[in-house]
Amino acid sequence: MAMDVVEIDGLRLRCVIGCTDEERRDRSDVVIGLRIGADARNAGRSDVLADAWNYRTPTKGVIRVVEGRTWFTVEALATEIARVLVTEHDAPHVRVRVHKPGALRFADSVGVVIERTPADFAPEKHWAEAVPA
């Protein structure tokens, strides 16, 4: 089955991100792009907002996470954004792009793109739980 995708581009937020004292002194810009798997068939047929995947509430959750913590790496930030979308907002698949403008001299920005599904955030079983008694 083909997956429809909700796209959110250029979400510009500010957070403390980086490893050096200079980077951690002030908030830095980050630019986020999201591709969120969704089923748009019902909304496409009905043209009723209630049938669409609500992107406002999950986006507010992403903003809360990005601005509410400090980060050392864009990888950790991207992973936490994915976790929020998958575990708190039932996204079956997400692609998260996080870029930090000005992080590298002579480059517009530096960033990472990750893809995650619910399987990436499933609780791990302890080895003893997996072995029958």
Question: Over 80: is that where the pLDDT of 132 sits?
Answer: no
- Secondary structure class of 14 (helix, strand, coil): strand
User: Per the residue annotation, which of 66, 100, 103, 111 is the catalytic one?
Assistant: 100
What is the reported pLDDT for 124?
Answer: 64
| SS3 assignment for the chain | CCCEEEEEEEEEEEEEECCCHHHHHCCEEEEEEEEEEECCHHHHHHCCHHHCCCCHHHHHHHHHHHHHCEECCHHHHHHHHHHHHHHHHCCCCEEEEEEEECCCCCCCEEEEEEEECHHHHCCCCCHHHHCCC
Q: What's the confidence (pLDDT) of residue 64? A: 97
Could you confirm whether 100 is annotated as catalytic? yes
Q: Please, what are the domains in the chain?
A: 4-103 (3.30.1130.10)
Mean of the per-residue pLDDT values of the chain? 91
Per residue in 49-108, pLDDT (tens digit) is 999 999 999 999 999 999 999 999 999 999 999 999 999 999 999 999 999 998 888 999
Element (H, E) at 95: strand 94-101
